[in-house]
Amino acid sequence: MIRAMPLAAIAALWPSPVTPRPMPFTNDDLVGEWWSGGCRRTQLAETGAPVFLERRYQYSRTNYVVRYSFFEDEGCRSPLYSFVATGPYELGRVHPTLPDTREATIFIDSMFYVAESEAGRRALGACGRRLAIGAYKDVTETGCGDFPPRRDCIGDYELFRVEAGVFYPGLRTADMCRPEGRPRATQTVGAAKQAAR
């Protein structure tokens, strides 16, 4: 005679499957242009001098272009220099604790600097002396400023968050070239998605 098992005993034998966290965003959601909409205060790694940063990102499903433009003033009217990087990227797992956030890895294909004023050349120190104002300089193999040569850092281990039409990259750490240097939080000021042209 088969004895009926209590429901609790059956549940213990076949526990309910763990419901995976929903995917907060995909590569398709990143496609387009994103702009920080103004400058935020930061400082030069070379001298510690205060500067103001404007960020622009462009994503396809597989590749990115990022442009960081540095200014002397909060109104973004006195340009110093810009940094441009291109390459592929990959989205990874959903972050286990941060909402709307995924791990990501961006790979460097090319890096360029352009000095936009004499003050910008001076701000970059030894690297700036190799730059001509208004001309893009390929620094992929040599590095410049905050960015080392590609042989020393093939890319960044990142965090990406997309929330309410705003993109937030990771809060930079001292060494994002290694997995253990991946940020533990995203930046608090993001870049808004621009309307398609």
- Structure confidence by residue, pLDDT tens digits, 39-64: 888 876 656 678 899 999 999 999 99
What's the one-letter identity of residue 64?
Answer: Y
3 state DSSP class of 129: coil
Mean pLDDT of 150-174: 94
User: Is 152 domain-assigned?
Assistant: yes
Confidence of residue 15 (pLDDT cuts 50, 70, 90): low
pLDDT value at residue 101: 96
pLDDT value at residue 174: 86
Joined together, the tokens standing for residue 49 give 């001098």
pLDDT value at residue 169: 96
Tell me: the pLDDT tens digits for 18-39?
555 678 899 999 999 999 988 8
User: Is 93 domain-assigned?
Assistant: yes
User: Is 103 domain-assigned?
Assistant: yes
Query: Which residues face 166 on adjacent strands?
Result: 163, 192
Ranges 31-35, 44-48, 158-162, 168-172: which has the least confidence: 44-48
First and final CA of the chain: distance in angstroms? 74
pLDDT value at residue 42: 85
Q: Which domain holds residue 107?
A: 23-191
Mean pLDDT of 91-115: 96
Do 170 and 190 meet the contact criterion of CB atoms below 8 Å apart?
A: no
Number of domain units in the chain: 1
Confidence of residue 196 (pLDDT cuts 50, 70, 90): confident
Percent of the chain with pLDDT over 70: 86
Joined together, the tokens standing for residue 55 give 């960020």
User: Is 167 domain-assigned?
Assistant: yes
pLDDT value at residue 70: 93
pLDDT value at residue 16: 55
Q: In the predicted model, is pLDDT for residue 168 greater than 70?
A: yes
DSSP 60-79: -SSEEEEEEEEESSTTS-SE
pLDDT value at residue 50: 84
Tell me: the pLDDT tens digits for 104-156?
999 999 999 999 999 999 988 889 999 999 999 999 999 998 889 999 999 99
What's the one-letter identity of residue 126?
Answer: A
User: Is 30 domain-assigned?
Assistant: yes
Q: How many residues does the chain have?
A: 197
Do 118 and 133 meet the contact criterion of CB atoms below 8 Å apart?
A: yes
Rounded Cα distance, 37 and 175, in Å: 27
Nearest Cα to Cα of residue 193 among 58, 98, 101, 69: 58
Rounded Cα distance, 66 and 83, in Å: 8
User: Is 5 domain-assigned?
Assistant: no
User: Is 85 domain-assigned?
Assistant: yes
Do 172 and 127 meet the contact criterion of CB atoms below 8 Å apart?
A: no
Do 113 and 129 meet the contact criterion of CB atoms below 8 Å apart?
A: no
User: Is 100 domain-assigned?
Assistant: yes
Joined together, the tokens standing for residue 34 give 């994103």
